[in-house]
Amino acid sequence: MSESAAPAGDVTDAAGLPRDGLVAVVKQDCPTCRLVEPVLAQLGPALTVFTQDDPGFPAGVGDVRDDTALDVSLALGIDTVPTLLRFADGAVVARTEGWLRDEWEALAGVGGLGPDLPEYRPGCGSRTHDPEVAEELLVRTRGGTLSARRLEIAALEDEAEALFDRGWSDGLPVVAPTPARVLRMLEGTARAPDEAVAVIPPNLVEATVEKVAINAVLAGCRPEYLPVVLAAVEAACTDEFNAHGLLATTWGAGPAIIVNGPVAREIGMNAGGNALGQGNRANATIGRALQLVIRNVGGGRPGEVDRATMGHPGKIGFCFAEDEAGSPWEPLSVSRGVAPGTSAVTVFAAEGPRGLADQISRTPESLARSLAAGLRSVAHPKLPLAFDATLVVCPEHGRVFAEAGWSRDRLAAELAELLALDPAEIERGAGGIEEGLPAGAATAPVPKFRPGGLLIAYAGGGAGMFSTVIGGWVGGPGGSQPVTREVGPWA
């Protein structure tokens, strides 16, 4: 037996409950409720019974009330039936669940209850938790918090095809955002549904938490992913990231997300084998949710504002976590100013990933040269200071740097030195290639990447000396810059 206050203050007037006395909540479908039917009759006129499924149950009780609409059960927060409660001055002062003779007798102040019954029997789940009614109750009790326009689909209309036809899909099937699913998604954050998150390009439409939640449902997210999606939307819609420019360019890059901090582990993200590939729900759907927000809220659709010549599969969604536990370095987010132990996302412009193999180098100097050779090809080997990039170092390559004591900053500095391009090699016509800088445009070595234009992250499986280069887009104030945002709050 537990002592407790009423779940929502004095609910007696609104719910038709007595201000003083005993209340039992039962359902005929529960074996334990049927077992205690004679005990309910023993308690006499001091007892009011609310029945969840059969207004004729239990027999032999003077005051039985119909709660098939479950309003009283919801008001009292019933999880298990039978539940016996004592009210005093309109408040619940004690309750017990299931059947335990000693607790029933103490709560009711009546001895000798159910002498022929076993001492104890557990109860059954309240009908409020039955799957067939839970969604209806959720919408009934919380549906008023939603403000998005409702779309009615005809009875004979295929749900999946209807969403394709209305242009809400990225080309793959999406999950229908029913009110119940959106409400459950909103349980993943403490933020209000009508709170503005960001102004979404290209149409510069304000997205609320509810609008982001709708697209998270479409993408297949779980509620616990929503805070990460919200942070990614905020980061992608900053002037620094310039999602509109990234969307409108004919280059093939799109937004990608690296997740750091405790949230990556809590929601089961993949930072190990196949981290950049398929198979992990959180990785796949968080990146997809960001893209669907840009598509469905902001109007960024291929063939319209999205003018990519080629694009790449990662524009459906591109998201992974950094392997902080295995990394020889501090998390990427910490290197970008976020406090250690804080969950964060970093959004960056990304082409499709391409592998970079070096299975022989066992010194950091040799391996850095291999990585630099691969990075030089981003956009074009003869184009300096144009496109950003991200280098994802795999564990076997990371071990080489860790054993030599190289920090992330040391590796970045070595790569910058190795990627200082000789003017003679990058002039137009050099190497028989007309692409390049105009003759005489550079008189000294030119950096491949602008300062801050190369991110270095750590992820991947424990076997295989294969790191990954992810080309970006034009970097700096005239293009897109990586943006990091903290994740939170969540419910």
Which residue type does 442 have? A
Predicted pLDDT of residue 13: 54
* Average pLDDT of the residues in 470-488: 95
Predicted pLDDT of residue 7: 43
Q: What is the pTM of this model?
A: 0.87
Give long-range contacts, CB 8 A cutoff, 24+ apart: 399-408: 399/328, 400/361, 400/362, 400/363, 400/364, 400/367, 401/328, 401/364, 401/367, 402/328, 404/363, 404/364, 406/364, 407/329, 408/329, 408/330, 408/335, 408/456
| pLDDT tens digit sequence for 173-222 | 999 999 999 999 999 999 999 999 999 999 999 999 999 999 999 999 99
* Average pLDDT of the residues in 77-93: 96
Predicted pLDDT of residue 64: 96
Predicted pLDDT of residue 4: 39
Predicted pLDDT of residue 15: 63
Residue 10 has pLDDT above 60, yes or no: no
Q: Do 220 and 172 contact (CB within 8 A), yes or no? A: no
Structure tokens at 430: 């050099």
Cα 429 off chain centre by? 49
Residue 14 has pLDDT above 80, yes or no: no
Beta strands in 116-229 (DSSP E): 120-121, 124-125, 196-200, 205-208
The C-alpha atoms of residue 248 and residue 472 are separated, in whole angstroms, by 14
pLDDT level of residue 150 (50, 70, 90 thresholds)? confident
Predicted pLDDT of residue 153: 86
Collect all residues with Cβ–Cβ distance below 8 Å to 282 and sequence separation of at least 6: 221, 222, 225, 228, 267, 268, 269, 270, 319
Residue 12 has pLDDT above 70, yes or no: no
Domains and CATH numbers, the chain: 12-129 (3.40.30.10), 162-486 (no CATH)
| pLDDT tens digit sequence for 222-271 | 999 999 999 999 999 999 999 999 999 999 999 999 999 999 999 999 99
Q: What is the mean pLDDT of the chain?
A: 94
pLDDT level of residue 53 (50, 70, 90 thresholds)? very high
| pLDDT tens digit sequence for 382-432 | 999 999 999 999 999 999 999 999 999 999 999 999 999 999 999 999 999
Q: Do 448 and 374 contact (CB within 8 A), yes or no? A: no
Q: Which helix (H) or strand (E) holds 24?
A: strand 21-26
* Average pLDDT of the residues in 273-288: 97
Which residue type does 281 have? R
